[in-house]
Chain A
Amino acid sequence: GAVVSQHPSWVICKSGTSVKIECRSLDFQATTMFWYRQFPKQSLMLMATSNEGSKATYEQGVEKDKFLINHASLTLSTLTVTSAHPEDSSFYICSARHRSGGTVGNQPQHFGDGTRLSIL
C-alpha cells in the first residue's frame, strides 16, 4: 500500500532554532502534499497545501514566513518552522495525495506518522 514517511518523528530544541520536517511518499508520486498541525486532544488543522513545483497555499491565519514549505519533487515536501518558539510546540502531520488522483473516495490522502515538536 501507499506509504508516507515523515522525519524526524520527535524533535526537541531550543527556542529560536529553525526546524525542518521532511515528508516523503515512498512508493508513489505525490503532486500534492498537505501539512497539518494537531494540538493535544484536538483535531487536525490544515496549515497548507503544497503542490510540486509551485508555491504552497496557506490556510487563513498561518504565517507563510514562519512555516516555510518546499515541494521540490514528486516525492518530497519539507516544512521548516523558522525561529521556533514554545508556542510552536505541537504535533505536525503530513499527508500526500497520489498523482493519479482519480474519482474514487478511498485514500484521498495518505498520512505520515507525524512529528512531535517540542520547543524549550
Chain B
Amino acid sequence: GEDVEQSLFLSVREGDSSVINCTYTDSSSTYLYWYKQEPGAGLQLLTYIFSNMDMKQDQRLTVLLNKKDKHLSLRIADTQTGDSAIYFCAERPLSGGYNKLIFGAGTRLAVHP
C-alpha cells in the first residue's frame, strides 16, 4: 500500500539543527521529496532524493535515505526563524507514473529564540 508517516510537531532553538523524520511504505518509490508550506500558501519543493542515493546535501539541507528501512530524514542546519513552517515528506510510487505524489501529514517546525 501507499502510506507516508511523519511526526506532527518539532520545536527547536534558533541556531540548532532540526531533524524531521519520515517513513514510507512503497518500496517502488523512485523519488522522495521534501516540501515546505508556509501559512496560507502552497507547497515549495525544498529538495528531493533519488531512491538509489543514501544522502544528498544542499546548503543547509541534508537528506538521508535508508531504503532498507524506508526511512527518510531532513536535517536543517543552523535553523532560523524563517524556517518555521510545515514540512511534508512525499513519495512518488512507481505505480503512479509521473503523476502521483503521496504526502505525509506534515511536521510543524517551530523555531524559538
Contact = CB atoms under 8 A, between A and B. Distances in A.
A2 B40 CA distance: 20
Interface string B89-107: 0001000001111011110
A111 B42 contact: yes
A44 B43 contact: yes
A6 interface: yes
Interface in A39-56: 41-44, 46, 49
B98 A107 contact: no
Given A49-B99, A108-B92, A108-B101, A6 B42 contact: yes
Interface core residue of A43, A106, A114 (most chain B CB under 10 Å): A43
Contacts of B8: 41
Interface core residue of A4, A32, A34, A108 (most chain B CB under 10 Å): A108
Nearest to A93: B42
- Report, as a range, how many residues of chain B touch the other chain: 20 to 34
A44 B99 contact: no
Interface residues of A, number: 24
A101 interface: yes
A61 interface: no
Contact of B104 (A43, A108, A109, A113): A43
A71 interface: no
B74 to A, nearest CB: 15
B66 to A, nearest CB: 18
B31 A44 contact: no
A105 B50 contact: yes
A93 to B, nearest CB: 5
Contacts of A113: 40-42
A45 to B, nearest CB: 8
Interface string B32-53: 0101000011111100111000
A24 to B, nearest CB: 13
B105 A111 contact: no
A114 B41 contact: yes
A105 B41 contact: no
Interface of B: 8, 30-31, 33, 35, 40-45, 48-50, 88, 92, 98-101, 103-106, 108
